[in-house]
């Protein structure tokens, strides 16, 4: 989520203020193509058979079956969700303080950092929770690029992402095992939905 906030909050602000059709189209691409393609693209990008892969491997960057690969895939998948949640938030903001700052000679970047961003807390939290919910449900991309996390901190090496684990349980142990794991994931997701409702309520009061 930190990566999305750092990368896509400025982009959302830019789209809300400039109406850049090309940038909006690019931002929508991950939501409009089959997600396994994103997993395949990351594997190809990092393959030692490609120039990009050889370069990335030479500096120690590996996407395949790593925590980094899963994070990159989930960031790409949930980026359109985050942007589409933040863009209307910025569009609904009172622009008078920004126009005042711009009138005093501040750049658009400085106006974003000093005026818009400090008033965007609720929007960022809400968009992050929506993107997190989307990430929790992702399967198509990570089943290819991060089927199992072979190396990860905190003793998480050798585990599989939740959606992949549920699929494996269903394939190997049948419906009952998959239902139990699915119920656990649903229980985990409920507090996220409750928190999102609280944030939206605070933003409208």
Half-sphere exposure of 165 (CA within 13 A, CB side): 16
Domain membership flag for residue 98? yes
**Which domain CATH number covers 107?**
1.10.3720.10
Q: Is the pLDDT of residue 155 over 70?
A: no
Domain membership flag for residue 174? no
Contact 58, 46 (CB under 8 A): no
pLDDT digits (tens, 9 = 90+) for 182-196: 888 888 888 888 888
Domain membership flag for residue 188? no
This prediction has a pTM of 0.84
Torsion angle defined by CA atoms of residues 7, 12, 17 and 19, in that order, rounded to the nearest 10 degrees: 110
Greatest mean pLDDT range, 2-11, 38-47, 165-174, 189-198: 38-47
What is the C-alpha separation between 37 and 51, in angstroms, rounded? 20
Domain membership flag for residue 186? no
Per the structure, the count of domains in the chain is 1
State the pLDDT at residue 198.
82
Q: Which two tokens stand for residue 128?
A: 């992050």
Length of the chain: 205
What is the C-alpha separation between 52 and 72, in angstroms, rounded? 16
In sign, the C-alpha dihedral spanning 174, 182, 66, 42 is positive
State the pLDDT at residue 51.
92
Which residues span the domain enclosing 109? 2-160
Domain membership flag for residue 166? no
Domain membership flag for residue 121? yes
Domain membership flag for residue 170? no
What mean pLDDT do residues 56-84 have?
91
Percent of the chain with pLDDT strictly greater than 90: 31
Domain membership flag for residue 34? yes
From residue 83, how far is each of 25, 108, 110 by CA, in Å?
A: 12, 19, 20
Residue for token digits 């089959």? 34
Q: Which two tokens stand for residue 191?
A: 């507090």
Half-sphere exposure of 98 (CA within 13 A, CB side): 20
């Amino acid at each position: 989520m930190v990566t999305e906030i750092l990368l896509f909050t400025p982009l959302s602000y830019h789209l809300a203020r400039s109406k850049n059709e090309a940038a909006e189209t690019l931002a929508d691409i991950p939501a409009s193509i089959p997600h396994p393609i994103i997993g395949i693209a990351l594997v190809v990008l990092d393959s030692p058979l490609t120039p990009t892969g050889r370069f990335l491997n030479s500096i120690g960057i590996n996407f395949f079956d790593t925590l980094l690969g899963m994070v990159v895939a989930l960031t790409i998948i949930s980026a359109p969700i985050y942007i589409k949640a933040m863009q209307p938030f910025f569009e609904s903001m009172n622009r008078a303080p920004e126009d005042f700052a711009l009138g005093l000679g501040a750049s658009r970047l400085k106006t974003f950092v000093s005026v818009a961003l400090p008033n965007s807390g609720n929007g960022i939290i809400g968009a992050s929770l929506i993107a997190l919910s989307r990430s929790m449900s992702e399967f198509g991309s990570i089943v290819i690029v991060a089927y199992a996390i072979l190396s990860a901190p905190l003793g998480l090496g050798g585990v599989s992402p939740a959606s992949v684990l549920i699929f494996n349980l269903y394939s190997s142990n049948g419906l009952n095992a998959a239902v139990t794991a699915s119920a656990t994931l649903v229980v985990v997701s409920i507090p996220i939905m409750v928190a999102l409702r609280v944030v939206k309520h605070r933003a409208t009061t």
